[in-house]
Amino acid sequence: MKKILEKYEIQFKLLFAFLIGIVICAIMLYFFIPLLLNYPQGTYGTDFQTELENANYFVQVVLISLAIIIIFAIITFCKTRFLVTYRDLIKNPYKYSIKEINYVKNKLLSVPYSLLVLNSIIPSIALSLIHAYTTNNFSLTTLKLFLLSTSIIILLVISLFIYTSSLFKKILVKLPYDDQTGLKKATIKKRIFFNILPLLLVSVFFTSLLGYSLVSIKTGNSLFETYHNSLEYFKQYNTFSSLSDLEEKTRTLKLNNPDDFVFIKTPDGHYYNNSGEEIEVSAFFNKYLNEMSPSNNGRVYEYYGIDRQGATTEVVIDGIIYTVGIYFNCLSMDVLAYFALSLFALLLINIVILTLFARNLSNDINTISSSFLNMAKNTETSVLQPLALTANDEFGNLIISFNKIQKLTAKNIEEIHDNQETLMEKERLASLGQLIGGIAHNLKTPIMSIAGATEGLMDLIKEYDSSIDDPEVTSKDHHEIAKDMEAWIAKIKAHTEYMSDIVTAVKGQAVTLSNEEEISFTIEELLKRVNILMKHELKNALINLNVSVKTDEMTVIHGDVNSLVQVINNMISNSIQAYQGKTEENIDLIVTQDNNNIIISIKDYGCGMPKSVKNKLFKEMVTTKGKNGTGLGLYMSYSTIRAHFNGTIKVESEEGKGTTFSIVIPH
């Protein structure tokens, strides 16, 4: 039992709330139906009713309530079945795909509206059918009962809609947020219609029924008094010798409406009009006339909720009692048509006004949301404009708050623009600091070699100087000494060129980002600088850099070579760190050309990165290095490629298998 309760927890909560609501509805129906449908007093819920219908009034209300409960339970369990199917997803959403999560989100957002519509319409239709069956009659009463029950049920269902939405929102807030939600789009107009239109329907239906009922009662009372007095006067001032004489004299009775008519009931229970033609009356009318009218001053009712009645009196002919009556409509067809037209017009006016209101509200919200989107998409403060204050209510407060946020955002954007160059320069200098150790090591070797070459040259100079006056030194010996000196000078030249390249590379990395001078360089020059600056770090990490150029090395790239070197070096450093201290690993630096694009790929086979980090890698400053990382490197790298080369950076990564960064530069 406990497992079942846990499995269907939300459904049972909804059912319990509905049971409480249906009890209240049943009580309301029990008292409002006789009041608004003008049930004759003393007839419903008694033996009088059970002799004419399949069930008395109390049983009818109970049956209707049970039917509504069963219908609600079926609809609710069917529409919320997904909560059982995806119970584990709701508890552990991070184990499931975004597609499955979005499916559940769409259900959580749409099901309350489905329940609102289905539970408003189907129970009311079922109620009307049950009433028609239990009364053996489908009439205007059934229609009025439908309107009344629909009004009360809608009030209940709206309350349950609010409760259901609150339960589902508690689930929604626990599900992962994703910018690419894939949710079905809805509008504020839909929400307004589903929240307000039912209340308007309730107001219109209930007000119309109440107005109709009051008019019917008042008109019926007035007509009864008129006809009753007319019959009493007719009885007082006339004597009747026979049935035909009675029929002839009733023709003098004045009728207010053309549809009203005079009838005569004979002692044998037959009904005739004043022309002598036999007519039929309902079983309810006949029973009420026989049993209830004497105690009701001769008033007779046609049926429950039927606005047709009779005023009667008894006359005696030759000692035999006859009943003379006037059958009348409480409301004429013109009045009924007026009520129907008024109801339709009122509904139409309310829907039009609601549509205009929803559109106006939607426009206000769209204005603010569009401004938020514009603020999110644009980084130019000149584009951001304050919203006009068009209301002094909560929307006005929202507009004021938005303008304050936008003002603060504009200030932050300006500060970011002011600080961006400083941030990038600091990042560059931080990278430069990491290169100092390697540069010192790289310079130490050629300096030592130059020093050795200098000593060798000094020895050759001394040897040459001492051989000038030596007759034994031949011309061939002089040429050999010159050749040795030339070899040492060639070595010195090579080492000085290498040192010059190092100095040039370091100087380039120290240049500020404000230098936007257009520079052209070849792929060969680019790779040469990368190799010089990364040589020491790769050597210390015992990592191999495999360079593969699958295009012409002399291909020219336009832009700031120093910026591109910094970006590539940053990615190589990231790849080294991705191996987490492992040695004898490989990093591939591959240069290819695709149409008019140069593609520089840096590929490692390290730890990779989580999908959550990958999705926002270039959108914000994120790092996988914990306290050792700032997230500035890749963020600034992306900004640099976009700003200086009009290119982009793509990333492919899988946890445990490695990462590939691809720099795409238009050529």
Task: Provide the pLDDT for residue 513.
Answer: 42
What gap in Å lies between CA 69 and CA 130, rounded to an integer?
Answer: 14
DSSP notation for 35-104: HHTTPPTTTTTSHHHHTTSSS-HHHHHHHHHHHHHHHHHHHHHHHTTHHHHTHHHHH-GGGS-HHHHHHH
Answer for the pair 135, 304: CB distance below 8 angstroms, yes or no: yes
Task: Provide the pLDDT for residue 623.
Answer: 45
Q: Would the pLDDT of 470 be above 70?
A: yes
Least confident of 191-195, 250-254, 326-330: 191-195
Mean pLDDT confidence for 270-293: 90
**What's the pLDDT band for 120 if we cut at 50, 70, 90?**
confident
Mean pLDDT confidence for 293-321: 90
> Would you say the CATH fold of 524-667 matches that of 219-333?
no
Q: Name the token pair of 215.
A: 């008019």
| Other Cβ atoms within 10 Å of 612 Cβ, number | 11
Task: Provide the pLDDT for residue 375.
Answer: 64
What gap in Å lies between CA 160 and CA 166, rounded to an integer?
Answer: 10
Q: Would the pLDDT of 505 be above 70?
A: no
Answer for the pair 644, 637: CB distance below 8 angstroms, yes or no: no
Residues 6+ apart with CB under 8 A from 541: 576, 579, 583
Phi then psi dihedrals of residue 531, to 5 deg: -65, -45
Q: Would the pLDDT of 629 be above 60?
A: no
- Convert the pLDDT of each residue in 411-425 to its tens digit: 776 776 666 666 556
Least confident of 418-422, 435-439, 504-508: 435-439
Mean pLDDT confidence for 644-661: 89
Task: Provide the pLDDT for residue 6.
Answer: 72
Answer for the pair 104, 85: CB distance below 8 angstroms, yes or no: no
Question: Given this structure, which CATH class describes domain 524-667?
Answer: alpha beta
Name the residue among 562, 573, 567 with its Cα closest to residue 434.
573
Task: Provide the pLDDT for residue 621.
Answer: 45
Mean pLDDT confidence for 42-58: 80
Task: Provide the pLDDT for residue 150.
Answer: 82
**For the chain, percent of residues with pLDDT exceeding 90:** 17
| Other Cβ atoms within 10 Å of 633 Cβ, number | 22
- Convert the pLDDT of each residue in 178-195 to its tens digit: 655 566 766 677 777 777
Task: Provide the pLDDT for residue 413.
Answer: 67
**What's the pLDDT band for 133 if we cut at 50, 70, 90?**
confident
Most confident of 84-93, 292-301, 510-519: 292-301
What is the dotted CATH code of the domain comprising 219-333? 3.30.450
Least confident of 23-37, 65-79, 457-471: 457-471
Task: Provide the pLDDT for residue 549.
Answer: 93
Q: Name the token pair of 632.
A: 């500035």
Q: Would the pLDDT of 277 be above 50?
A: yes
- Convert the pLDDT of each residue in 508-554 to its tens digit: 555 544 454 557 889 998 998 888 778 878 888 899 999 999 999 99
What gap in Å lies between CA 362 and CA 460, rounded to an integer?
Answer: 93
Task: Provide the pLDDT for residue 18.
Answer: 82
Name the residue among 633, 611, 606 with its Cα closest to residue 622.
633
**What's the pLDDT band for 262 if we cut at 50, 70, 90?**
very high
Task: Provide the pLDDT for residue 627.
Answer: 38
**Structural domain boundaries of the chain?**
2-186, 219-333, 337-417, 524-667
